[in-house]
Structure 1
Amino acid sequence: MSHPARPPLILGSSSPYRRELLTRLRIPFDVAVPDIDETPLAGESPEATALRLSRRKAEAIAARHPDALVIGSDQVCTLDGAQLGKPGTHERALAQLQHMRGRTVTFHSALCLLDARTGAAQLADVQTLVTFRDLPDAELEAYLRLETPYDVAGSAKVEGLGIALLARVESDDPTALIGLPLIALIDMLRQAGFPLIGSVA
């Protein structure tokens, strides 16, 4: 149940990582899973892909919940201008990690807060630079077998053992790499007049 002063807040995501992050703000929210095509468009930049998909996810949920504030988020991992998606399999994950070792990868974590009542949307793209350690295949294989990170872009869960693969993380928003930039989201919620700290739950 939402406090009367608040519109319902809905996280449009199937990600357990985003759900856990949003829980940290101690505000009531529901979760709904958007059903959209996440294929990048031809010639689309990584930033544009992430922003478009974050908005499309929010719009898909807002269409079913016209009184809500809806959060959409999407993450795109890039190296040498090419997008690296969710690997899906052990073999693809190993190939990703081999390609990234010793190099710096850019993660675009896009965020959309859509007010379904008015159609007003706030958008942000938070970039994180991640430098991977130059590790041998045996360590990469061992990591993949221990954590099976086949559902995350870039094949490394920074919130888990994946931190052992990283030499450096540079970002203005420490939760962006996990998938939901909370500093940017708090800015958006405040702009939307959504009560945060000190409000009655």
Structure 2
Amino acid sequence: MSNANLPSHPIILGSSSKFRAQILTHHNIPFTVLVSNINEKAVGGSRATADASELVLAVARAKADALLVKIQREEDGGEEKLVVTCDQVVAWEGGVREKPVSEEECISYLKSYTKAPAETHSAVIVTNTKTGKRVEGVDVARQHFHPIPDNIISQLIAKGDVMYCCGGFMIDDPLLFPYLAQREGDEDSIIGMPIKLLLRLLNEAAS
């Protein structure tokens, strides 16, 4: 990807996710990281009844609000920048899944995807620190799976990365490659940073 597709404004990634950072780096998008420490569980109401897209937008908005306060306090006006905040959940059979809270829950998640696909809802919000303009969107993608053997699930959990991923899986883990079936949507979106949506929002926020 050419940087000609990007606005000239400095970009702040409001996420500690190494996976999102890797995607931006892969696409030659320069950025710095600044993280807001919010209680995500306190945003968006009950996960049992939440609409997945509305939930991720609510959390990403809360992250943006917290970061803007932090930036304004530290920089007192400063240079015009674009702040990117994100959130993602997996919708499955009418429920919402975030990061697994235990190994047992992760095992349950991975086994369940043979029955129905994992549907990722990835919110991206871009806020212009100078103008206050904020634009947002949600990208939805689906990943189908073949049955994942127990020994592979054990190896994935032992490696640990899946415990930090909503829905308890990483499609770019080589251990999982043989068990990935049909995909509806882009790989970047399922990982948590839909690049096409991000680029559109960056340019909208800069204009």
Q: Give the shorter-chain TM-score range.
A: 0.7 to 0.9
The TM-score, its normalising length taken from structure 1, stands at: 0.84
Shift of 1:32: 0.8
Gaps of 5+ in 1: 195-201
Q: Tell me what 2:199 maps to.
A: 186
The answer to whether structure 1 residue 63 and structure 2 residue 69 are counterparts is yes
Alignment: residue pair count: 189
Partners of 1:30 and 1:100 in 2: CA distance: 35
Distance 1:174 1:149, change over 3 A: closer
Any runs of at least 4 consecutive aligned residues in structure 1 with deviations exceeding 4 A, and if so which? none
Q: 1:131-167: CA deviations, max 9, x gaps?
A: 1212343332233234541010111111223333321
Counterpart selection for 2:59 from 29, 53, 66 = 53
Contact 1:62 1:68 in 2 (8 A): no
Letter in 2 for 1:91: E
Gaps of 5+ in 2: 1-6, 73-79
SS in 2 for 1:44: coil
SS in 1 for 2:84: strand
RMSD in angstroms over aligned alpha carbons? 2.0
Counterpart selection for 1:99 from 112, 126, 134 = 112
Q: 1:44-102: CA deviations, max 9, x gaps?
A: 31110111111221222122224421000110101111111101432221111122224
The TM-score, its normalising length taken from structure 2, stands at: 0.82
Contact 1:50 1:75 in 2 (8 A): yes
| Aligned-pair identity (%) | 27
Q: Tell me what 1:132 maps to.
A: 145
The answer to whether structure 1 residue 89 and structure 2 residue 89 are counterparts is no
Shift of 1:175: 0.7
Aligned pairs for 1:1-201 within 5 A: 6-39=8-41, 40-42=44-46, 43-66=49-72, 67-146=80-159, 148-161=161-174, 162-171=176-185, 173-193=186-206
Shift of 1:186: 0.8
Normalized per residue, the structure richer in helix is: 2
